[in-house]
Amino acid sequence: MHTGRLWVGRLTDDEREVLKETEAWLLEPPGLLARSLAVIGKPIDFAYNRVPESIREAINRKIYGVLSAVRESSGNSVRPQETFDRISAEVGRDVTALDQLFEHDVRCLDRVALEFLQAGRRAAAFEGGATGLAGLAGLVVDVPALYWLIFRTVQSIAICYGFPIDSAEEVAHILKVVDVGHHLESDKKRRGMLELESLQVLIRRGLPIQDLERAAVAKGLQALARKLTARLARRKVAQSIAVVGALIGAGVNRALVNDVGLTAFYSYRRRFLREVAERRL
């Protein structure tokens, strides 16, 4: 992905190895859930189409409510100081501001970011298991907690790599990360990561927020909410064909937080490396 990018030449050998890890992740074969969708696509589509419209609309409203709150920055429940404290303990010196993070080894930041991702996965499994017994109807109740958890995980990872979470530009980027992270198919994931790279370039250039939002959320927040609703419901339907009850909710929630969290991890990690390289000019 980085062939021909001049900034890559300003990275150390170890930093270039880290960059290669992102490429390796993008080339990984589809996971079990994605393969299941490909194999039993028609039964899943049939089952999904039988989901009552009222439930789909209820899920959509819940997701839209969370997206709206995040866009208005009223949903930021992450305290940067907590992340700074963890990183300070990891690197052995005080970190008190985002800009200081670019002075540190990316692998130290990786360890803290992965701790946040692991915590998100555990919380998702617990939340999903508690509501999974109610099936799709339970998912309606579960959606706000699940999506707040997803956004908290992404925001925590963003802070780990030195990026703010409360400006309009960064909120647009976070929304795009969540969008890309919902993809199960490898080709769509790769295309989404390229779109994230393009968005990061636009942010560096200081494009107006209206242009950034169009790049991040092509058809508006309501359209994004509907896309996420469909992808979430299909995930749950796919797992429910093979498993029942709490295992469905726990599995769907954990897998979704993992997929979005890894998208955030590799995206912000790569963005951090580019920022470090650009500062070496």
Show me where the domains of the chain are located: 20-278
Q: What was the pLDDT predicted at 244?
A: 42
Cα–Cα dist 107/14, whole Å: 9
Residue 208 backbone phi and psi in degrees, to 5? -55, 150
Q: What was the pLDDT predicted at 153?
A: 97
* Amino acid (one-letter) located at 88: S
Kindly report, residue by residue over 161-202, the tens digit of the pLDDT: 999 998 989 999 999 999 999 988 888 999 999 999 999 999
Question: With contact defined as beta carbons under 8 Å apart, do 32 and 259 qualify?
Answer: no
C-beta neighbour count of 29 within 10 angstroms: 7
Q: What was the pLDDT predicted at 130?
A: 47
Kindly report, residue by residue over 106-141, the tens digit of the pLDDT: 999 999 999 999 999 999 887 655 444 455 566 677
Cα–Cα dist 15/9, whole Å: 10
- Per-residue confidence at 36, pLDDT binned at 50, 70, 90? low
What tokens does 147 get?
A: 């999506």
